[in-house]
């Protein structure tokens, strides 16, 4: 049964965790929203699907940001307690570092269980829904890109497209003005056309039975070309998918696979829960502020340490994807480094304490 001190510390860290996670989510979702709005403006996504895609990505963002939010919540909450000398008062009442660790792990344990359950069992289904929503949004965007009776710029302004009408067979009365790479201007007209997407995901307008005029504006030497079929590219680049098929695979399939990509995906799903437990080990030590010491310097230091942790995870995932390291090494070497970092901090702060000396003597006696 948690004591009054445990409940107090858990409440302080938990409320800060909730506020921090909401703030980080707002930043991440606003960045994603800007990206989706940009794609919708260029006709890569249907506007009606933006908020559905944001909702589906919210769970993935929560899992990704949970370790960072947990770290910042510990640093902010315990930093305030040290600044206000509440930790000194607790120590005077016999509630030392063990009480702090007990409260931190009482909060970290259910958070880890919730995170690992969502990452292993719920998130693959959500990613599958996201894939379906992206495919549907892409298909709807192909239909709604051109509005009859209006001019539309594509390819970063290289082409100006006018469509007279739309019907079940595609585009009708198509007019395209294009600026060629050599500076010439071309005008392409056709009574009928349609949109097609190639294997790389790049869209084209397919025109049938049309004419093309090409030349330099102000001169009378235009070239006339009649064609049966012509392609006009309307995408600047192939759309970058924000999902990968392996993220939609059930965890049981990843467990049975020896493919390095699938092993990397499984270990990435376990990454956030493991980070939360390791952060619970060394974050309370980083939050130990001396009298009259500002707490924000330690928060910046903790954020830099987490940035190193996060980037090393990215390096480890890349190595695992490309077979540089084996599945047995995987991402465990990164977690091992930060486990040693936490143990080193414990030795630095508590090696001289009577409790540690007693445990050391017991360990040497047994050996």
- pLDDT one-digit tens code per residue, 130-175: 888 887 887 676 656 677 888 887 777 788 888 888 877 788 889 9
Give, rounded to a whole angstrom, the gap between the first and last alpha carbons of the chain: 35
In this structure, the answer to whether residues 257 and 361 fall within a common structural domain is yes
**Per-residue CA distances from 359 to 3, 14, 356, 363 (Å):** 25, 32, 5, 6
Q: Are residues 60 and 186 in the same domain?
A: no
Domain span at residue 189?
147-233
Say yes or no: 12 and 156 in one domain. Answer: no
CA distance 31 to 33: 5
Query: With 70 as the cut, is the pLDDT of residue 271 above it?
Result: yes
Same domain, 252 and 173: no
Same domain, 110 and 14: yes
**Same domain, yes or no, for 34 and 156?**
no
Q: Give dist(CA 107, CA 13) in Å, integer.
A: 8
Mean pLDDT in residue range 247-261 = 87
Interatomic CA distance for residues 329 and 320, integer angstroms:
9
Same domain membership, residue 247 and residue 177: no
Q: Measuring CA to CA, which residue among 85, 89, 91, 33 is closest to residue 61?
A: 33
Q: Judge if 226 and 260 occupy the same domain.
A: no
Burial 339-361 (b: 16+ CB within 10 A, else e): bebbeebbeeebeeeeeeeeeee
What percentage of the chain exceeds 90 in pLDDT?
37
- CA 202, 203, 209, 211 dihedral sign is negative
For the chain, the domain total comes to 2
pTM over 0.85: no
Q: Of the residues 216, 233, 250, which one is the last residue of a structural domain?
A: 233
Domain stops at, among 233, 266, 286 = 233
């Amino acid at each position: 049964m948690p004591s009054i001190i445990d409940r107090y510390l858990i409440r302080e860290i938990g409320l800060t965790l909730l506020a921090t996670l909401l703030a980080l989510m707002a930043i991440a979702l606003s960045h994603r929203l800007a990206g989706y709005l940009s794609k919708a403006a260029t006709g890569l996504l249907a506007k009606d699907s933006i908020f559905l895609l944001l909702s589906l990505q919210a769970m993935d963002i929560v899992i990704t940001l949970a370790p960072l939010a947990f770290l910042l919540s510990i640093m902010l909450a315990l930093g305030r307690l040290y600044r206000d000398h509440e930790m000194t008062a607790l120590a005077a009442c016999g509630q030392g570092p063990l009480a702090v660790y007990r409260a931190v792990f009482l909060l970290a344990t259910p958070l880890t269980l919730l995170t690992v359950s969502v990452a292993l069992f719920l998130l693959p289904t959500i990613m599958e829904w996201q894939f379906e929503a992206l495919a549907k949004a892409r298909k709807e965007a192909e239909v709604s890109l051109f509005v009859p009776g209006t001019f539309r710029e594509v390819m970063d302004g290289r082409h100006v497209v006018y469509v007279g009408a739309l019907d079940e067979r595609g585009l009708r009365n198509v007019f395209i003005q294009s600026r060629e790479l050599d500076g010439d201007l071309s005008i392409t007209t056709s009574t009928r056309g349609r949109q097609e997407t190639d294997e790389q995901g790049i869209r084209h307008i397919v025109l049938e039975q049309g004419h093309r005029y090409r030349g330099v504006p102000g001169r009378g030497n235009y070239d006339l070309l009649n064609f049966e079929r012509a392609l006009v590219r309307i995408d600047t680049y192939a759309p970058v998918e924000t999902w990968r098929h392996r993220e939609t695979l059930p965890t049981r399939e990843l467990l049975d696979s020896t493919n390095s990509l699938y092993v990397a995906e499984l270990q990435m799903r376990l990454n956030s829960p493991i980070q939360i437990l390791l952060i619970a080990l060394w974050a309370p030590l980083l939050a130990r502020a001396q009298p009259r010491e500002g707490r924000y310097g330690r928060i910046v230091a903790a954020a830099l340490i987490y940035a190193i942790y996060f980037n090393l995870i990215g390096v480890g995932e890349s190595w695992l994807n490309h077979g540089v390291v084996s599945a047995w090494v995987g991402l465990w070497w990164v977690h091992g480094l930060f486990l040693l970092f936490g143990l080193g901090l414990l030795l630095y702060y508590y090696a001289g304490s009577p409790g540690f000396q007693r445990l050391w003597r017991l360990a040497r006696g047994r050996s």
